[in-house]
Each structure stands twice: as structure tokens, then as C-alpha cells.
Amino acid sequence: MSGAGEPTGREHWASRRAFILAAIGSAIGLGNIWRFPYICYEYGGGAFLLAFVVALFTAGIPLLILEFGIGHSTEGTAPKAMRKIHPKLEWFGWAATGVGFVICTYYAVIMSYCANYAWHSLTLAWGSDPSAFFYNDVIGLTTVRADSVATAAADSLRAIGAQVPAELVAKPWSLGPFMPWLFVGLAISWVWIVLSIWKGTKTVGKVVYVTVLVPWAILIIFVVRGVTLPGAGEGLHFYLHPVFGELLKPGVWLAAYTQVFFSLSVGFGIMIAYSSFLPRKSDIVKNAFLIGIGDALTAFLGGLAVFGALGYKAHLSGLPVEDVVQSGPGLTFITYPDIINNLPMPHLFGILFFLMLLTLAIDSAFSLVEAVAAAARDKWGWSHRRANLTVASIALLLGVPLIFGVGLHWLDIVDRFMNQVGLSLVVFGECLLIGYYFKSERMRNYVNNLSDFSVGKWWNVCIMVITPVAILCLLGAEIVARFKEPYGDAGLRSQEFVFGWLIVILVFVGGLLLARTRGRKESQSVGSAGVDRGA
């Protein structure tokens, strides 16, 4: 973004390419290489992939167009944009930003795993059993296995109506050992994030050339090796061949829709903030398609590499692909080391791979810091530095509980609730607000006036009907299922279930409170409903 401005004085991207790279950099991140494969593995492989493609075209790309339209027309970050649409809706913009902020706190923890693995690549410390290495040495979970046993014992006692001894009850809240190297990785990640945007977002447009293009080249190498490992075919079959019966499960669809939101960074306030810096004439529709399809293709490639490696593991162990590893957020850190072990010059490729993950993650993370910091600048007139440092320090502190031994378990819970409930609610609200209050036809005309390539009326149907109805039904079905059986498939215990909801509620209440704080004069006076900026 350059400070060169239009009469409004708002900073702008230096070029269309800078915007596209920054937005694609935000979209492509750990979501593609870390989250997508394990969610896909957990929800049935091929069936999930199919649901993902449907979700991309019925919700993901339409929502990108929607968020670009909101940001561009109001020239505001999410809270300011919402306030412009209706003065009473600022809280909703803060809630969207808050959901993203919480996601960013644990996202940096995964970056710390990557930093640790980049270091371990020097010695290929994971050896021939990357799974044991991950759980024992990196996150320290096995040292708290006794606690999980205690928790399971407490559950069984409760189930038969027996009294549960106090020492068993206390266990589920245990944090496990502090993992100092994860803390070091977390601190490094945050320093790197802050430095990337230190001189304002002017640097972003330059940094992204490296952080988007280099990782792509490295990923291709991993795909080629992943799919040519012995036994890879079996893993690829699981990934690419849908078992149609799986599509009858609402959980698969909810996972697919929310993965699309996560992966495209919609519902976080990021794309609204980024597009608020676009110059007047910007081809919103073409940009949205480019970013959406580029992001999905990257996830698809990440999946090819991981499932190739899973096939290889199945081939070695003689187990079916669906049982070969424990799924979950640790999957990437178990399967990629396996591929690395099978590459020539494994040390070099190990370092390259984990640095690639870090570079992919960094632009997603700083896009979020920028979205929150820009919202603070819009509201309170803070300087870049003050906003960035405040946001980063709070996020660093909030990430600390997650670097203890059971941290990954809590991370998984926060991730599920923030994505399945938090992001879904935000996206649902955006669809209702623009679809019915603002009128999606009006927004469609607005973006079409700017774009060479127009969106048809199908877009209104996606925003007004398909996306909100899908979220309502899927989230509704999931909530009912969880209330009936809180332990459910995800193996959640009731305390964890309550904790997950509490965080979601806190984010929305936080949004209400922030909206009530006094902003700087200029920002308070913005209250005109509607689109300010002519096309």
C-alpha cells in the first residue's frame, strides 16, 4: 500500500498485483497445508473434497466478492464498514475481527511448531518414527498421557453413576509441562510478524512477492515426491475417490464450508480491510475468482502430498489408509517428515519445507494483525506502531497456554469452535445484512460497475439463500447433536464443550463492548447508511 491517496486520504495499494498477492498471501497459509489435509482425512477424504469444491463456488468465492465489495465501498475496516452500513452494527464488525484475532493466537503456535521443525530438520531429529517424536519431544503430550487416562477413568466412573475421586476430576484442566522451545518459536514468530509490517503496510506489497511465490515452488517438489512414494496410490485413492454415503453426514458439509471460510480468510475482517485500501477502479470479481481458485488449488496440492505420504505409511504398516495415523492437527508434522526422510538431501528439504510453511503462514498472520490494527487505527486514530505492538503482545500472551503439553488438545477445541461456530455466525450475519438489509442486488451492481467481468444473479442466490441456509442447517444440526451428545465424534468432554462456547460468547460480547468505547471524533461522525464511494 502506498500513502499516495485519493481525496479521502486513505492509503492505497501500490498496484493491483500487490493487492492480489497480499490477498492471496492471506488466503494461502497453514490452512492449505496444515488444516486442509487433516480435516479432509478426518471427514472421509474424497467425499470431503467434493463438498469442499461445492462450498468454494456456492459460498467461498461469492463471499470474497461480498467482502471486497463491503471494504471497497465503505473504505473501512470491518467495524467501520459495519457502522457505515448501519450505525448500530459496529459491534458486529468487531466480533468478526475478534474471531480472526483468536484464530491468530493459535495460528502463531502452529508457526512455532514449524519453526521448531525447521530447526529439527538440521539433524532429522524425528528419526524413523515422526509420530512418536511429535507427541513426545515436540509438544510433550505423552508426559500427560496419565492425565488422559485419568480423564477417561473419571468419565467411565461418571457413566456408571459412581463417585469420582477429586484427583481425577482435577486432571482434565491440567496444562501439562511447559515446552520452552515452543515458547521460543512462538516469540520468534511474533517478532517476525511484527517486523514484516513494521513500516506500515507499505512493506507488505513487497514482502509478499517472496512469501507467496517461493513456497509454491517448494510445494511442487513435495507433491512430486509425495505421489511417487511406494504405496502412494492407495492414499490418493482415499483422497480422490468419494464414498458418496459420507455426503449424507451434515458434519462433512459443515467442515467443508468452514474450511473454505478459513482458507479464504473470509469472516475474519481481513478481506474487508485489505479491499478498503483498493483504488477506485478495481476489478473485484476477477480478483475474487483468481484468489479463490488459486487458494483451493494450493490446498489440493497440499492434499496430494499428504495423502501420497499416508499411502506410503499404509504400505509400510499394512494398515488401511483411514487407520494409519491418528488424525488431527498433528497430521502434517507426522506425514511430511516421512516424505522428507525419503528425499535425497533430506536435511535441506526439511529446512526448505518448514521454512516454506512459515513463509506461507506469515502473510496470513500479518494480514490478520493488520486487520485488527487497522480497525484500531480507524477507531482510535492509533499509530501503526502502537496498534501493531498492542495487537501482537496480547496475541502472544494468549498463545502461551497452548504451548504446554496438552496445548494441542485445547488448540484443537478453540480451532473447532472458532471455525465451526464463530466464523459461521459472522458469515451468516454478513449474508443477512448485505443480502436483505443492504440488498444484494445493490452490492452486485456496485461490484459489476467496477469489474470487467460481471457476476450474474446467481450471486444473489448464493448470498441470500445458499450460504445462510447451509450454515443454519449445518450449524443447527451440529449444535443439536452436541447438546444431545456433548462427547460426540470429536470426543469432547462437557467442560471442553462449555469452554468452546464461552470463547465464542466472549468474542461477541467483546465486540459489543468495543463498539461502545469512544472513538476519535472523525470516526464517530461516520454514520451514513449505504455505500459512500461511487464506482
- Contact set with ligand PFF (CB under 6 A): 26-27, 29-32, 103-104, 107, 262-263, 265, 364-365, 367-368
Integer angstrom CA distances of residue 103 from 13, 145, 405: 26, 26, 20
How many alpha carbons fall within 13 Å on the CB side of residue 50?
Answer: 15
SS3 content of the chain, % helix, strand, coil (to 5): 75, 0, 20
Scan for cell 483411514, then name that residue: 322
**Least CB distance to ligand PFF at residue 362 (A):** 10
Q: Residue 238: which of 53, 31, 32, 40 has the closest Cα?
A: 40
- Cβ neighbourhood burial of 10 (10 Å; 0-12, 13-18, 19+): middle
**Least CB distance to ligand PFF at residue 32 (A):** 6
**Residue 195 corresponds to which cell in the numbers above?**
517486523
**Spacing of C-alpha 429 from chain mean position:** 19
**Least CB distance to ligand PFF at residue 197 (A):** 12
Name the residue with the smallest CB distance to ligand PFF: 31
**Residue 259 corresponds to which cell in the numbers above?**
474450511
Q: Residue 271: which of 523, 61, 534, 54 has the closest Cα?
A: 61
Rounded Cα gap, residues 206 and 20, in angstroms: 12
Q: In sequence order, which residues have a C-beta less than 8 Å from that of residue 342 and are 6 or more positions away?
A: 225, 229, 312
Rounded Cα gap, residues 63 and 467, in angstroms: 9
CB neighbours of residue 83 within 10 Å = 28
Q: What's the count of helices (H) and strands (E) in the chain, helices before strands?
A: 26, 0
Q: Residue 309: which of 271, 342, 335 has the closest Cα?
A: 335
Rounded Cα gap, residues 454 and 340, in angstroms: 45
The secondary structure of residue 319, as a DSSP letter, is: -
Amino acid at 433: L
Scan for cell 515446552, then name that residue: 179
Closer CB to ligand PFF, 262 or 277, in the complex:
262
Q: Identify any residues that bridge with 94 across adjacent strands, giving them in sequence order.
A: none
Closer CB to ligand PFF, 231 or 302, in the complex:
302
Say if residues 328 and 42 touch (Cβ distance below 8 Å). Answer: yes
**Residue 27 corresponds to which cell in the numbers above?**
488466503
**Least CB distance to ligand PFF at residue 371 (A):** 8
Closer CB to ligand PFF, 27 or 490, in the complex:
27
**Least CB distance to ligand PFF at residue 390 (A):** 16
Rounded Cα gap, residues 328 and 310, in angstroms: 14
**Least CB distance to ligand PFF at residue 300 (A):** 13
The per-residue b/e assignment along 100-128, b for 16 or more CB within 10 angstroms, e otherwise, is bbbbbbbbbbbbbbbbbbbbbbeebbbee
Closer CB to ligand PFF, 33 or 466, in the complex:
33
Amino acid at 122: L
